[in-house]
Structure 1
Amino acid sequence: MKITVIGSHLCPDTLYALCKLREKNAEMDFKNLSASLPDLKAYLAVRENCGLYEQVRQAGGIGIPFFELEDGTRTMDLDEVLAKL
């Protein structure tokens, strides 16, 4: 199952998630928000319009890492992603 990981190489939680997914040999597409303005723009559109982010926005958080799976699942929960592998 292919997983799109949206995060930043500057974020320790993102780096941890990438390591765990690599350990499971997951097929990944990493969108590095610190290195790509088009990816950042696309992410911000999701963040501003997805109900999953309501609490994150209220808390002033960024909400990364964010995972989107081939089956359409969107989550910020690494354990949920790992369980589906």
Structure 2
Amino acid sequence: MKVTMYGTEICHDCVQAKKELTACKDVQLEYKNITGDTATLKEFLAFRDKEEMFLEVKQEGRIGIPFFILENGEKTFDIDEYVELPKTKGDFVHALNVCSIDNPGQC
């Protein structure tokens, strides 16, 4: 399965999700770092500005990453609902993992 992931290396949840997806043999990951260049940031912001799924995220002051797009076009914040992720040391908890601007640890 091909998965496109929008995230950043300064977000713990993104780093962990990328690590877990990279370890999945059944997943072809296309990682897009939103802090790597403005073109990728604009691409992400277009989704954030237009997709209804981001309404609650924005109201709560969160960013909306990690954000995933599946090969069939479906969009989600919870990749573990679609991919069986390997357990890694530190057992990352997946539950609407979207980083907060003003509340570190509220991802």
Output the TM-score relative to the length of structure 2.
0.73
- What's the secondary structure of 1:82's corresponding residue? coil
Whose helix fraction is larger, Structure 1's or Structure 2's? 1
Bigger CA radius of gyration: 2
What letter matches 2:47 in structure 1? V
Counterpart of 2:23 in structure 1 is 23
The aligned counterpart of 2:9 is 9
Cα offset, 1:61, TM superposition: 0.5
Larger relative CO (CA 8 A, sep 6+): 1 or 2?
Answer: 1
Task: Report if aligned partners of 1:7, 1:65 keep a CA contact under 8 Å in 2.
Answer: yes
Q: CA RMSD in A?
A: 1.0
Say yes or no: does 1:77 pair with 2:85: no
Aligned residues: 83
CA contact (8 A) 1:6 1:64 kept: yes
Q: Which has the higher strand share?
A: 1
For structure 2, which runs of at least 5 residues remain unmatched after alignment? Answer: 85-107
For structure 1, the 5+ residue unaligned runs are: none
For 1:9 and 1:65, locate their aligned partners in 2 and report how far apart those are by CA, in whole Å.
Answer: 11
Identity rate of aligned residues, in percent?
37
TM-score, length of structure 1 as denominator length:
0.91
